[in-house]
Amino acid sequence: MDNENNERRERVLSLIQPTSVPTIGNYLGALKNWADMSESYDCIFGVADLHAITVRQDPAKLRKQTFEMYALLLALGLDPEKNIIFVQSHVPAHSQLAWILNCYTQFGEAARMTQFKDKSAKHADNVNVGLFSYPTLMAADILIYQADYVPVGADQKQHLELTRDIAERFNAAYSPTFTVPKPYIGKAGASIKSLQDPTKKMSKSDANPKASVSMLDTPDDIRRKFKSAVTDSEAVVRYAEGKDGINNLMTIYSCCTGKSFEEIEREFDGKGYGDFKPAVAESVIETLKPIQDRYNELTRDKALLEKLAAEGAQKAAYVAGKTVSKVMRKVGFRQVNK
Ligand code: ATP
Ligand code: LTN
């Protein structure tokens, strides 16, 4: 992973849960930044299947979705030769470090996480301990690779702050062990909202299919979903407080076309939502098309994807193993006497 001069390039790491096909929220908030960063950084990207089981999953579906998510990461244009692309459960060291970090995280800190509160309310029949310790596993994912930057959507900021606190605490208790990671939260698409309730974030596990646009939706689906997107009665395309639906559509359009909000307001001056909504849909269709084409090609070669995932796991395990050995030594575990 080091370059020819043996200088370490800054390292970027992020994971995504294989809970469903990712939405344009996941894409604009996180995955797009992964693809943009993959050229200039040393990158490690993964499919967070361990995190996915904090909510009940159908095993066959989880297996399928993990495979599809892996293919989709490659379809973004991430190069498995230059970067490490792997499946989290293939690298057992994540779970090992997560246990240790649990013992360096206070109950009160984990209880403050808003995602825990939201997900416990949503899945009141299954508030499991894994859901509670979700952020320490996420901290392990990050710290085990000594990541400098973590590109995520705004909803993950609190988890990253906790990760930084855990890293600093451990480093202070022993000696510098972990790189303290910085969040990389792109401004524009950091929080894409639901098309049906623009006060809520777009989520891939939303039960209402009209609320989100998946990265693999057909052009017709995309047109239909934007047509039924919730807006307001003002019928003016402008970014303003209280216009959550239009603000969200403007954000999506801006991310897909590169146009600023002022340019968009000028473009649709004197026009209504009947012109604006189809334009947003077309910009999304065009953005997703090359990814969908590559995805369809990649999923035809199952053996290749399996081989790449195995290689990714091997490379990831090598880097992760070095950190875990160091941590185990520092906390006072005896080594196996061979
Ligand atoms: P789930 O609904 O299963 O909880 P999710 O849609 O929230 O899933 P994750 O796998 O938890 O997706 O997140 C993957 C990445 O996408 C994370 O970096 C997260 O911050 C980002 N992300 C998720 N939702 C949005 C959104 N609405 N806008 C911007 N970024 C998002
Ligand atoms: N919790 C994240 C997914 C995730 C992650 C990570 C993101 C798991 N491990 C490590 C960044 C770094 C989410 O997006 N909901």
Q: Which ligand is nearest to the Cα of residue 152, counting in written order?
A: 1
The neighbouring-strand residues paired with 15 are 46
pLDDT number for residue 6: 55
3-state secondary structure 121-178: HHCCCCCCHHHHHHHHHHHHHHHCCCCCEEECCHHHHHHHHHHHHHHHHHHHHCCCCC
pLDDT number for residue 26: 95
The neighbouring-strand residues paired with 44 are 13, 84
111 pLDDT more than 50? yes
pLDDT number for residue 270: 95
Backbone angles phi, psi at 46, to 5 degrees: -145, 165
* Any atom of ligand 1 within 6 Å of the Cβ of 19: yes
Half-sphere CA count of 240, side-chain side, radius 13 A: 9
pLDDT number for residue 205: 82
Superfamily of domain 3-189+302-331: HUPs (3.40.50.620)
265-320 per-position pLDDT tens digit: 999 999 999 999 999 999 999 999 999 999 999 999 999 999 999 999 999 999 99
Average pLDDT for 252-274: 97
**Average pLDDT over all residues of the chain:** 95
Most ligand 1 atoms within 8 A of CB, residue of 122, 155, 192, 248 to mutate: 155
Query: Residue 190's pLDDT band (boundaries 50, 70, 90)?
Result: confident
5-60 per-position pLDDT tens digit: 456 789 999 999 999 999 999 999 999 999 999 989 999 999 999 999 999 999 99
pLDDT number for residue 1: 46
Sheet holding 149-151, edge to edge: 84-87, 42-47, 11-16, 149-151, 182-184
Superfamily of domain 219-295: Tyrosyl-Transfer RNA Synthetase (1.10.240.10)
| Residue closest by Cα to atom 14 of ligand 2 | 16
203 Cα: distance to centroid of ligand 1 (angstroms)? 6
Give CA angle at 28 (297, 64), nearest 5°: 40
* Any atom of ligand 1 within 6 Å of the Cβ of 192: yes
Q: Which amino acid is at 266?
A: R
**Dist. CA 179–CA 315, nearest whole Å:** 19
pLDDT number for residue 4: 47
Query: Residue 237's pLDDT band (boundaries 50, 70, 90)?
Result: very high
Q: Percent of the chain at pLDDT above 70?
A: 98
Burial of 258 (0-12, 13-18, 19+ CB in 10 A): exposed
pLDDT number for residue 169: 98
* Any atom of ligand 1 within 6 Å of the Cβ of 33: no
Most ligand 2 atoms within 8 A of CB, residue of 156, 178, 192 to mutate: 156
Q: Where are the domains of the chain?
A: 3-189+302-331, 219-295
* Any atom of ligand 2 within 6 Å of the Cβ of 152: yes
List residues with catalytic annotation.
119, 201, 204
Give CA angle at 183 (130, 76), nearest 5°: 85
| Residue closest by Cα to atom 12 of ligand 2 | 14
Half-sphere CA count of 41, side-chain side, radius 13 A: 21
> 92: how many CB neighbours lie within 10 A of its CB?
15
Half-sphere CA count of 207, side-chain side, radius 13 A: 2
Q: Tokens 């849960």 — which residue?
A: 17
165-176 per-position pLDDT tens digit: 999 999 999 999
What's the pTM value of the predicted model, to 2 decimals? Answer: 0.93
| Residue closest by Cα to atom 4 of ligand 2 | 15
pLDDT number for residue 274: 96
| Residue closest by Cα to atom 13 of ligand 2 | 16
Assigned token pair, 74:
């490659």
192 pLDDT more than 50? yes
